[in-house]
C-alpha cells in the first residue's frame, strides 16, 4: 500500500485517500481540490481504481472546475467520466446537473453538448 499500488484489489490506498482529499477540499477550496485531482490522476495507481470510483471522482472534479470558472476542464472531466463509467453520468442526478451546466457554457465543446442532448438535458 505504501508504494501506491493496490496489491489486494481493495480499492483503498494512497490514491483513494488523495481522491477523498480532493472531494473534501471541493466543499470549500475548489482550487486545492483541482490541484489534488490533477496530481492524483497523473499517477499510475489512478487507473487501477475501479471505474465507478474514477468516474465519481471525475464528477467531483468537474464541479470543482466549475467553481473556479474553468468550464473547459469541467467538460473534459465529464467526458473522461463518460468514457470510464457511462452509467455514473447517466443515472446520477448530480451528474446530470453538472452536464447541463457545462453544456450551457458558450464555449462548451460539441461533444459535451451532444452528451447533454443525448440525456435530454437541453
How many residues are given for the chain? 122
Grid coordinates of 38: 490533477
Over residues 3-60, the pLDDT tens digits come to 555 555 555 566 666 666 555 555 677 888 888 888 888 888 888 888 998 998 899 8
Grid coordinates of 96: 446530470
Grid coordinates of 9: 484489489
CATH code assigned to 14-118: 1.25.40
DSSP at 6: -
Grid coordinates of 42: 497523473
Over residues 55-95, the pLDDT tens digits come to 988 998 999 999 899 999 999 999 999 999 999 888 888 89
Of the candidates 121, 61, 50, 57, the residue with the CA atom closest to the CA atom of residue 90: 121
100 three-state secondary structure: helix
Q: How far apart are CA 40 and CA 87, in angstroms?
A: 23
Grid coordinates of 32: 486545492
Amino acid at each position: 500500500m505504501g508504494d501506491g499500488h493496490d496489491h489486494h484489489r481493495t480499492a483503498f490506498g494512497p490514491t483513494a485517500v488523495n481522491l477523498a482529499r480532493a472531494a473534501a477540499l471541493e466543499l470549500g477550496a475548489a482550487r486545492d481540490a483541482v490541484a489534488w485531482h490533477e496530481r492524483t490522476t497523473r499517477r499510475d495507481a489512478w487507473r487501477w481504481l475501479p471505474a465507478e470510483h474514477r468516474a465519481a471522482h471525475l464528477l467531483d472534479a468537474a464541479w470543482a472546475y466549475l467553481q473556479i470558472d474553468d468550464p473547459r476542464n469541467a467538460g473534459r472531466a465529464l467526458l473522461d467520466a463518460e468514457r470510464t463509467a457511462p452509467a455514473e453520468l447517466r443515472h446520477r442526478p448530480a451528474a446530470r446537473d453538472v452536464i447541463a451546466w457545462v453544456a450551457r457554457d458558450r464555449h462548451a465543446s460539441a461533444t459535451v453538448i451532444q452528451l447533454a442532448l443525448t440525456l435530454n438535458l437541453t
